[in-house]
Amino acid sequence: MPFDPAVIRASFAVVERRADQLTKFFYAHLFTNNPGVEELFPARLAEQRDRLFAALTQLVTRLEEPEKLTGYLAALGRDHRKFQAAPEHYPAVGASLIAALKHFSGHSWTQEVEKSWLEAFTVISQAMIDAAAAVPDTVPRWWDAEVVDRRRATPDLAVLTLRPDRPYPYTAGQYLTACSDRRPQVWRPYSVACAPRTDNTLELHVRRIPDGLLSTALVNDVRLGETVRIGPPLGEAVLAPDSYRPLLMVAAGTGWAPVKALLEQLAQDGGRPTTVFVAARGDEDQYDLAAVHALVKEHPWLHAVLAAPERGGSRAEGVRLLREGLRAYGDCSGHDIHLAGPPDLAPGVGAQLLEQGAESAYLRHDPATPTFNRSRPLTPAEWFLEERDVPWINRTELG
């Protein structure tokens, strides 16, 4: 490794509490000195700035862990294909990053610090370029998918059926990132809610998030016949190959989407003893009960448990019901287990199931990354203390 990670970390510590100002400077410098590059970014840069610094933080914390850094950079490089990032863009990004770091480092910026950052960025950018170049030309940067069906399942949730313009090679349990011309360059992750179909259509369950740019457009505005852009499939929370172990699944909220896809895949594969807990904040939030009942009626190997508090019940009550139901399930040893739902589901429920005999090697879920915090911090200290999400990359490679 040509650069000194300790120098990078020490330099980063000087500027990290001025993250918001640094990222504003970075984008102003980048756009001013590189006409046309601004078109590759979303119009509203507040979230983009946060994610830039979150990604930078991930890189700095992995500099002395080559195995994690390599996977992270590869994921970034591959997924930046859909942002139309090209090798010629990286030097411009590097120059603006160095300019921003230097500006906010003050007297702590030295020739040694600049040399280390230049060397680090060279390694980082080349790894991303190489990862993108290694993707076969036959793999699209994105697919254009027509909205062929749309129904409002609840006031804040829409079920969309998309038909990609080319075959979309995914596995049940994976997720994708989506973007709409209504919100250019704003990409968000959504689980695919069906097993691969012969007609090549995909189902997405989209819940409107307060102040969510893309989710609001997809739930409220997108119409039949519109095109949604989707990125390559991501994630590894798929069925364990060649496993005949009994299955326990927990789906909370729109976590039902990937679980539904897994159940459809199980049905195609012949099925095996499966229990699925479908949890929600209330009965009205169990938005796809018709599909749950249809799957249970058709497949004798499937048992479903609905866990939701009475109307007006609290989220805490819903969590309590779910945990009690799982406790009553008993011994989880020898089970394949899938968890899907809010970010706090996997850590909490996963720990309980491990106490009930589950084996960590058989427990699957996408990494529990906190949902992006859309509030704007008032002070540098608040900014530094808030966790930031980087949702456009394959979270299974975050380490």
pLDDT tens for each residue of the chain, 399 residues long: 577 889 999 999 999 888 889 999 999 999 999 998 988 888 777 777 877 888 888 888 888 787 778 888 888 899 889 988 899 999 999 999 999 999 999 999 999 999 999 999 999 999 999 999 999 988 899 999 999 999 999 999 999 999 999 999 999 999 999 999 999 888 889 999 999 999 999 999 999 988 888 999 999 999 999 999 999 998 889 999 999 999 999 999 999 999 999 999 999 999 999 999 999 877 677 899 999 999 999 999 999 999 888 776 677 888 888 999 999 999 999 999 999 998 888 889 999 999 999 999 999 998 655 444 445 454 545 544 455 444 433 343 333
Q: Is 72 helix (H, G, I), strand (E, B) or coil?
A: helix
The number of C-alpha atoms within 13 Å of 219 and in the hemisphere containing its C-beta is: 20
Q: What is the pLDDT of residue 392?
A: 38
Q: What is the pLDDT of residue 182?
A: 93
Q: What is the pLDDT of residue 399?
A: 33
φ, ψ for residue 146, nearest 5 deg: -80, 140
Residues 147 and 176: their CA atoms lie apart, in Å, by 15
Six-digit token pair at 371? Answer: 């949902």
Six-digit token pair at 395? Answer: 């979270």
Residues 317 and 277: their CA atoms lie apart, in Å, by 15
φ, ψ for residue 366, nearest 5 deg: -70, 150
Residues 161 and 201: their CA atoms lie apart, in Å, by 7
CA angle 48, 50, 54 (to 5 degrees): 115
Residues 386 and 373: their CA atoms lie apart, in Å, by 8
Q: What is the pLDDT of residue 44?
A: 77
CA angle 236, 241, 244 (to 5 degrees): 125
Q: What is the pLDDT of residue 382?
A: 52
The contacts of residue 227 (CB under 8 Å, 6+ apart) are: 144, 145, 146, 147, 181
Domains of the chain: 5-137+376-390 (1.10.490.10), 143-230 (2.40.30.10), 247-364 (3.40.50.80)
Best CA proximity match to 250, nearest among 394, 364, 330, 158: 364
Q: What is the pLDDT of residue 107?
A: 92
Q: What is the pLDDT of residue 311?
A: 72
One-letter amino acid of 117: W
Residues 46 and 44: their CA atoms lie apart, in Å, by 6
8 A C-beta contact, residue 172 and residue 262:
yes
Q: What is the pLDDT of residue 205?
A: 96
Residues 235 and 229: their CA atoms lie apart, in Å, by 18
Q: What is the DSSP letter of 284?
A: G
Q: Is 248 helix (H, G, I), strand (E, B) or coil?
A: strand
Q: Report residue 277 CA to chain centroid gap.
A: 23
Integer CA distances (angstroms), 46 to 43, 191, 233, 253, 327, in order = 9, 25, 27, 28, 43
Q: What is the pLDDT of residue 283?
A: 67
